[in-house]
Amino acid sequence: MTTAHEAFAASAEEAPRRRRGGSAPTGSVWERLARSPLDPVARQWVAAALHGDDALAVCVQGDDPELPLPAEPAPAAPRPRRCYLSRVEVQGFRGIGRAASLEFPPGPGLTVIVGRNGSGKSSFAEAVEAALTGRNLRWDAMPTAWRDGWRNLHFDDRTEITVELQLSGETDTARVTRSWTGDSVRSARGRVELPSGETGSLANLGWGEELVRYRPFLSYDELGRTVTGRAAELYDTLTALLGLTDLAEAERRLARACDRLAKQERRPSRDLPYLVEQLRAGDDPRAGRALEILQAPSIDLDRLAVIAADDGPADPAQQVVLRRLRRLAVPERALMADVVNELRGAAMEIAMASGTKGARARSVVELLRQAMAHHERHPAESTCPACGTENAFGADWARRARTEIAALEPVAASAAAAYDRAENARDQARFLMAPPPSWLPPDSDLGRIWEQWAAGSDLADPTELADHIENVGRRLRSTAIAARKAATERLADPTDGWAELAEQVGAWVEDARQAVRARETLRPAEQALNWFTGLAREIRAERLRPLASQAEKVWQRLRQERHIDLEALRLVGRGAQRRVAVDVSVDGADGAGNAPGLLSQGEFQALALSICLPRTLATGNPFGFLVLDDPVQAMDTETVEGLSAVLAEVGRHRQLIVFTHDTRLPDALRRLGLPARIRMIQRDAMSNVWVAD
């Protein structure tokens, strides 16, 4: 075990060191980049990915970020001062009522605290985590009602946790106190009293990242999630532990940039079918010209851009027609109704006068007047043009005709008035039915209906004329109103409906030009990503090898007589696909599969310990202690014996504090004669907890 520990410690020394403002890329990456076969542009991509998003954004734009490669790696940071648990005091928290305390020798060694379920073991374990972090991972996985029971029901004086830590090189301890004053578990406030007497917040300890990276608390639930939980969690833990966070971030950053460029390159091809469909549906001649360019073997983007920039009307002459249409006037509905009423009234009066003496008298008067007019125009003619009678016309005839007209006019007055009314109504109707404007296209809907409307002026019968005005006039008005509205809408868009299509074409042209630039930019970026992915895989394997070796040794001790070997731990994937592959073999069969499909619950627990315990031994870990809560659950007796040997060995280098209800662990430690301090914890019905050796 010592050899494995030394190997792991040596590997931890290779982790990247901190620099001002963040983590510096590892010197080995820069050195390998300088020796790489990459062309200068691809090399700049890698350098930009290592420097950050801003530098990479410059590369994406196709510019040179001008990032010099460092001549030397950053200087190594000093090792952190290690701390150990000295004392924990808890009151009013979870299963502990009145103040109870646990004291530990502040240094390497194994302490096992045994107690039945409900004795307060987990309350102590969770108290240490709550004091140092303000939360507990186990609580986060529980229902709200369970979390609400964090305060002890038998003690309402004060809820407080005090953890005393001894830093290496110090004789006095640092005290971390967390007190609750509100009803919520989140209401706690923490403070730190340093050995110097100074006080402050927990941030003064500077352990924010380390508490996540090295996490000196492990519960049964957390061990179970190590192998079967979210794949990215263990990956992130190990990459942080191995100093590979910056490398993983740079790789993800470079992969995201390549993905964005690839999408930008593919966008025009993806959008082209839709654009072609839209252009085919358009009736503007520019749509046809654009479609012809897009379907050519080689697309002329410049010509296409000129067409898209043409924002004028397709036919200027059509704009004149549209402007006239917008102002076009047609007979009002009320006026047409008046004319129709007059025509129908005249038709009724004529029908009533028909066949009467007045109608006959009107006809005779009309005939005599026409003859008188002919005689006045041609006084030398005496022959009747109608019957051919000679000497029919003369002064005597004219005198008799005037006398006859004077005698018949009173009789014909009412009938004459009816016919005069009908004639006046026809004149009004003919005035309404003017011919269509010369500028109106005859083949348009309005042009055709207007021709039908104007043809009604040839009708003489008042009833037919009234029907024509009612039927055709209604259609004329509705068609004219629709034409005016359409003209107004088309005039609102000076491009005659081409504007929207032109915008789509212009946007596609811009995307196509960006795709050309993206294609050129993507070549060195993909070259950089392929090289960097291979390098990252190689560095991850190098860094993980000592930890995997140590995990394998721990597993060999825990598995006892089982024929399941831990073949490899591998950090694979990136981004959302990142995970830790845990490969096992059964009965010597290589590549038997991934652990989750082959192991029992107890074996899962043992495998999780095999992965997590080496983290405790990391050289950069500032925590010299590890609190384990119930690691024995689901393990059989043989595995427990192996665990006792592993814990005792780790206890030679770190402070291990193990809480368990299972007496098999202390029994195995005693039987094997392994060094460990075993203590018993008890609790009464009023939540009073005490500890005995």
Secondary structure of 661-691 in HEC code, one letter for each residue: CCCHHHHHHHHCCCCCEEEEEEECCCCCEEE
Tell me whether residue 239 is in a domain: no
- Cβ pair 359, 353 in contact under 8 A: yes
As a whole number of angstroms, the distance between CA 338 and CA 139 comes to 88
As a whole number of angstroms, the distance between CA 381 and CA 393 comes to 7
Which residue stretches of 328-394 are H helix?
333-353, 357-377
As a whole number of angstroms, the distance between CA 330 and CA 450 comes to 10
Tell me whether residue 373 is in a domain: yes
Token code pair at residue 473:
């006039």
As a whole number of angstroms, the distance between CA 635 and CA 679 comes to 21
Question: Which stretches does DSSP call E strand in 345-456?
Answer: none
Q: What pLDDT is recorded for position 105?
A: 92
Q: Which residue range(s) make up the domain with 381?
A: 323-492
Token code pair at residue 88:
């924990």
Inter-axis angle of helices 498-559 and 231-241, nearest 10: 70
How many CA atoms are closer than 13 Å to the CA of 593, on its beta-carbon side?
Answer: 7
Question: Is the pTM of the predicted complex or chain greater than 0.75?
Answer: no
Tell me whether residue 71 is in a domain: no
- 209-247 as b/e, with b when 16 or more CB fall inside 10 Å? ebbebbbbbbbbebbbbbbeeebeebbbbbbbbbbbbbb
As a whole number of angstroms, the distance between CA 509 and CA 395 comes to 96
Pairing of strands 174-180, 199-200: unpaired
Q: What pLDDT is recorded for position 550?
A: 77
Q: What pLDDT is recorded for position 626?
A: 93
Amino acid letter for position 231: A
**223 closest CA partner among 552, 565, 602:** 602
Q: What pLDDT is recorded for position 75?
A: 55
**DSSP states of 286-345 as a string?**
HHHHHHHHHTSSS--HHHHHHHHH--S-S-HHHHHHHHHHHH-----HHHHHHHHHHHHH
As a whole number of angstroms, the distance between CA 150 and CA 155 comes to 12
Specify the 3-state DSSP secondary structure of 197: coil
Question: Domain total for the chain?
Answer: 1
DSSP secondary-structure letter at 576? G
Tell me whether residue 120 is in a domain: no
Tell me whether residue 372 is in a domain: yes
Tell me whether residue 281 is in a domain: no
- Cβ pair 308, 505 in contact under 8 A: yes
Residue 87: CB atoms within 10 Å: 16
Tell me whether residue 529 is in a domain: no
Tell me whether residue 5 is in a domain: no
**62 closest CA partner among 402, 453, 521, 596:** 521
**Residues in the chain with pLDDT < 50?**
1-26, 71, 592-593
